Structure 1
Amino acid sequence: MCMSVKKDRVNIAVSKDIAERLARIAEGQGMTQFALANQILSLGLDLIEQGYTLQQIREVALFFRVMIELESVPIPGRLLDKLIADMYKANPEVVHRAWCEAGRMLASYVKAVFGSIEVAASLVPYISKIVPAKRFEVKAEGDVFVMETLGVGYSTESVEATAKAVHCFLDELGYEVKESITAPGILKVKALKK
């Protein structure tokens, strides 16, 4: 790293391709390269000082993008569970259709953005940190898909709704559900490629 000091500035050497990208993005943002580099480095250093690794920063940013693109809305888990349970008691078919549609929409997104469920499964370690579940594991290897969750939903109705979404998600991706276990707070699904 080559550094030279001029008053309150320090020059840091970067590779040519990084310098070109910085120049292009700074111009597109209407900023100087100095200002953009300062903001990027300040933010990155703040996150690293908070304990994030570079890989975690990339994956959190990707996950945030996915949440925005899917128009996800954060809602307390217990409130969502109550809404599902109340609606399920009134009209279970409406709940199943809505959650099935959500599962199919997510599958279409996975196909369009990630290409396959195997690639999308790489986000699971980060999703598992924000979903209201004590355990959230997904394995998608070859022709086999297995999802095991513990603490997903507080009621039988919400677990059944989630199961419907997962079944429709898998069907849309070309999997056939072979095993599905549901109980309050528990969902396990095993599926094979059709």
Structure 2
Amino acid sequence: MNQQKKDRVNIAVAKDVAERLAAVAESLGMTQYALANQILATGLELVQQGFKVQQIREIAEFYKVMVELEVVPVPGRLLDKMVADMYKENPEVVEKAWCEAGKMLASYIKAVYGGLDSALSLVPYFSKVIPAKRFDVKASGDELVVDAVGVGYGVESVKATAAGARCFLEDLGYEVKEVITAPGILRVRAVKK
């Protein structure tokens, strides 16, 4: 008896899952066994690392968003220095660039998620890649509060980020009521229009 056959074990899955597995395996030119084995091995490895199944789905969604937006990872200190240096030379140009980036992100969220409420599930994962020590978003009724600590080392990068946040929220139909900036600290409070 072949070793691969001997090591196989049958497991039961819902009929629709089995049908989807068969269709995807065929479209990839793989056997159902090979595809199921790869999916399960990867999923189990992530669960053993402490991720919950819902988190795995959200991380994959977040990764897709980052790829679609062409996000380039840059070390936080480098980005901060570049923004601070540029801001000192021409604050209007920097704030305009960050505003445009905020609007681009808002357009993406509207197109893909329909609005901010549907995209809020990505916040815990988004906060892990933002160069900030703490990034919280609290939505209560029509009010939204964004608190970030450690978002930049100087007030220049915080002001640039504030410009991006303002344009992002305004483009999503919020009126920004309060913006507090200090070196490393940003708080934005907005209300749905």
TM over 0.5: yes
User: Please, what TM-score do these two structures have when normalized by structure 1?
Assistant: 0.94
Letter aligned with residue 68 of structure 1: V
* Partners of 1:174 and 1:58 in 2: CA distance: 28
How many residue pairs are counted as aligned between the two chains? 190
- Structure 2 partner of 1:62: 61
Shift of 1:141: 3.4
Instruction: Tell me the residue number matched to 2:44.
Output: 45
Instruction: Give the Å deviation of 1:135.
Output: 1.4
Q: Does 1:174 align with 2:176?
A: no
Equivalence for 1:35: 34
Which stretch of structure 1 is more off in the superposition, 42-51 or 124-133? 124-133
How far, CA to CA, are the matches of 2:68 and 2:23 in structure 1? Answer: 25
What residue in structure 1 maps to residue 163 of structure 2? 164
| Amino acid corresponding to residue 71 of structure 2 in structure 1 | S
Q: How is 1:1-194 mapped onto 2 (pairs within 5 angstroms)?
A: 7-194=6-193
Q: Once the two structures are aligned, what percentage of the paired residues are identical?
A: 68
Deviation of 1:97 after TM superposition, in Å, equals 1.1
- Distance (Å, rounded) in 2 between the aligned partners of 1:190 and 1:6: 60
Post-superposition Cα deviations, 1:142-173, rounded to whole Å, max 9, x if no partner, equal: 32111011111111110000000000001111
Letter in 2 for 1:141: S
Q: What are the ranges of 5 or more consecutive residues in structure 2 without an aligned counterpart?
A: none
Q: CA RMSD in A?
A: 1.3
Residue 60 of structure 1 aligns to a residue whose secondary structure is helix
What SS class does the counterpart of residue 191 from structure 1 fall into?
strand
Which protein has the bigger strand share?
A: 1
Alignment partner of 1:164: what SS? helix
Letter matched to residue 95 of structure 1: V
Tell me, what secondary structure is at the counterpart of 1:136?
strand
